[in-house]
Structure 1
């Protein structure tokens, strides 16, 4: 594992100290997050939101890969890919390549169901193509999603279980079996009331409308319906998260374990929904530890 230079380590420790002293992050703090420019921007479709940013570490590689999927309540009103550059830059400094994904949201043309999910397919297909052009080790890959992005990365883990009759079926999806969900709202069926309360989103916006050909709209959209899928999921949630409270992580983990998958809950003491996703937060060292553990770069925490 790559070690930080002493000056950078001291800077990170001081930032964490000041962040803790300032208290839990709020939405305005999250929206102000920024990070370095990417190494490349790659379109995976014709729409303005169909692209991903590639961050390459220094060195020759091959590098493990973190796929980042931002949140924002599935809308374009609460930031997105720009805020995740903060985390992307920090991961690249640790020797981890980053694929930072933008996608069409429910308030954009073509977003919601099925476009948002098809964008995940296309973004991961594009990542697979980039592995032939850049030193990327796709045998070591983790998908990291925040809030609404947590729902999408948890769905990614179960893509192979989607029936061939579904518009979301992919015949050969890139396998992603390590998942880190940061304050994720993944259980569209079980958490419908919370999703409406926290984000103002209705089932039809995220899962489509029932039809004769598709009577159960959760069968191909809900991560909890696509268990077991052979994944290992870390559900990381701030102790003070009110958008996706710790109870949500524990409930999903119980479902995953009951189905036969591996799931671990990590609660960040004193942290909010926004501390979960910021490399400038006092909670970042624990989040980083989870990501590196998922990539088998760090030993499991005792």
Structure 2
């Protein structure tokens, strides 16, 4: 397995690490998995959470891009976190040729807050209709790499409900610089629910014993998606919140299976 680290910006948190399996006889990697770590968007949690997943995916023959980004507390939050997710994904355009990456299939695997960011990024084509000012702040107009599928691992997919429930002591308001009563446009723009319906498949995987992110974060998103042409699917797995990012656990192994399915 090969590992290559690249920056996509000048900030110390704007980087990713590309994990590549060996390709016997050369050829091209069929698709890429973008791994987006969680941690309720806070700076004390970083890309080390995604490294075991990216290494496992590469060990099973898939190219994986473990993405770091600015979080609330180290230059992220609004709009930096959102800018970084799109810029980090778009960096794959530059890496495709030197590393023989086929970008026809780019699937995101995101855990917790990373699940939120993955599904949000999958809706980038719809963001322009959610708020002109917010769209300008994030700078999402530039063409880039489009995600072709997402596996969300206990993702925070209903931001309005996360705020109502005060998950992780106000994590949603902390991400967006204040509550929705002060910044309604930001909260709507950042909420994956607002971008429905999507035209890419989303598997909302949720651990049955998850005490950190309620099952309703996934189930309400899936329910709201049913009117679209490609409704999201809810998949429940055994274990707690962190079983989803432990390669030894069946909960994670189900996620790997779904990623492989989306890569085709």
* TM-score when normalising by structure 1: 0.78
Structure-1 residue corresponding to 2:256: 288
Distance apart, 1:228 and its partner CA: 1.6
Moved more, 110-119 or 237-246: 237-246
CA contact (8 A) 1:160 1:173 kept: no
Distance in 1 (CA, whole Å) between partners of 2:184 and 2:157 is 20
Distance in 2 (CA, whole Å) between partners of 1:147 and 1:280 is 19
2:43 to 72, 76, 82: 76
Distance in 1 (CA, whole Å) between partners of 2:58 and 2:92 is 16
CA contact (8 A) 1:237 1:246 kept: yes
Structure-2 residue corresponding to 1:178: 149
The two structures, once aligned, show a CA RMSD in angstroms of 2.0
Distance in 2 (CA, whole Å) between partners of 1:89 and 1:187 is 29
Q: Deviations over 1:172-205 (max 9, x none)?
A: 13111301100100221132133x23x2235443
Q: Structure 1 regions of 5+ residues with no counterpart? A: 1-35, 297-302
Distance in 2 (CA, whole Å) between partners of 1:209 and 1:76 is 17
Distance apart, 1:138 and its partner CA: 0.8
CA contact (8 A) 2:161 2:217 kept: no
Secondary structure of the residue aligned to 1:39 is: strand
Secondary structure of the residue aligned to 1:262 is: coil
Q: State the number of aligned residues.
A: 253
Q: Structure 2 regions of 5+ residues with no counterpart? A: none
Distance apart, 1:137 and its partner CA: 1.2
Structure-1 residue corresponding to 2:3: 39
Distance in 2 (CA, whole Å) between partners of 1:257 and 1:286 is 23
1:250 to 208, 211, 219: 219
1:67 to 34, 54, 63: 34
Distance in 2 (CA, whole Å) between partners of 1:242 and 1:71 is 15
Structure-1 residue corresponding to 2:100: 135
Distance in 1 (CA, whole Å) between partners of 2:177 and 2:124 is 17
* TM-score when normalising by structure 2: 0.89
For 1:254-265, list aligned pairs within 5 A: 254-265=223-234
Distance in 2 (CA, whole Å) between partners of 1:132 and 1:282 is 35
Moved more, 284-293 or 176-185: 284-293
1:154 aligns with 2:154: no
CA contact (8 A) 2:41 2:171 kept: no
- Which structure's CA Rg is the greater one? 1
Secondary structure of the residue aligned to 1:217 is: helix
Distance in 1 (CA, whole Å) between partners of 2:27 and 2:242 is 31
For 1:1-302, list aligned pairs within 5 A: 39-59=3-23, 60-63=26-29, 64-77=31-44, 79-108=45-74, 110-163=75-128, 165=133, 166=135, 167-168=137-138, 169-194=140-165, 196-197=166-167, 199-208=168-177, 216-269=185-238, 271-296=239-264
Moved more, 42-51 or 183-192: 183-192
Distance in 2 (CA, whole Å) between partners of 1:287 and 1:141 is 15
